[in-house]
Amino acid sequence: MLNLNQFAKEVHENAVNHGWWEEERPFGDFIALCHSELSEALEEYRNGNTKTYFKDKEGHEYGCDLPFPEYLKPEGIPIELADCIIRILDYCGKEEIDIEEAIRIKHEYNKTRPFRQDWRAE
């Protein structure tokens, strides 16, 4: 099973190595970046791209049945959702958040909720 805390450290290290943390970012910027990834997932849904596909630099699209050279960029709903998770893990790695424990705590709490609880009531 994937260790999310270790993976968060790796994701954050990669972001640092690629220059994404040269300046401190406000928390609101982080939230906006997550939101933008989810908006891109919605756009992929609206375009009917529910599965992963690939694009080259000229914008030509390729399905998943091809070998995937590194110059092809992955796209589609799964990729945009992954981008959001990667951004969250980057932040968790930076702030040393125990995301595994947070998920476990929240999941255990959710199991105590009544059937189809109206989330708007909270």
- What secondary structure does DSSP assign to the chain, as a single string? ---HHHHHHHHHHHHHHTTTTSS---HHHHHHHHHHHHHHHHHHHHTT--S-EEE-TT--EE-TTS---TTSEEESHHHHHHHHHHHHHHHHHHHT--HHHHHHHHHHHHTTSPTT--GGG-
Res 2: pLDDT: 76
Q: What is the mean pLDDT of the chain?
A: 91
Tell me the CB-side half-sphere exposure of residue 68, using CA atoms within 13 A. Answer: 11
Q: Where are the domains of the chain?
A: 4-17+32-107
Could you count the other beta carbons within 10 Å of the beta carbon of residue 83? 18
Res 70: pLDDT: 74
Q: What type of residue sits at position 89?
A: L
pLDDT digits (tens, 9 = 90+) for 72-108: 899 999 999 999 999 999 999 999 999 999 999 999 9
pLDDT, average across residues 97-121: 87
For the cut 80, the answer to whether the pLDDT of residue 53 exceeds it is yes
For residue 24, name the pLDDT band (cuts at 50, 70, 90). very high
pTM of the model: 0.86
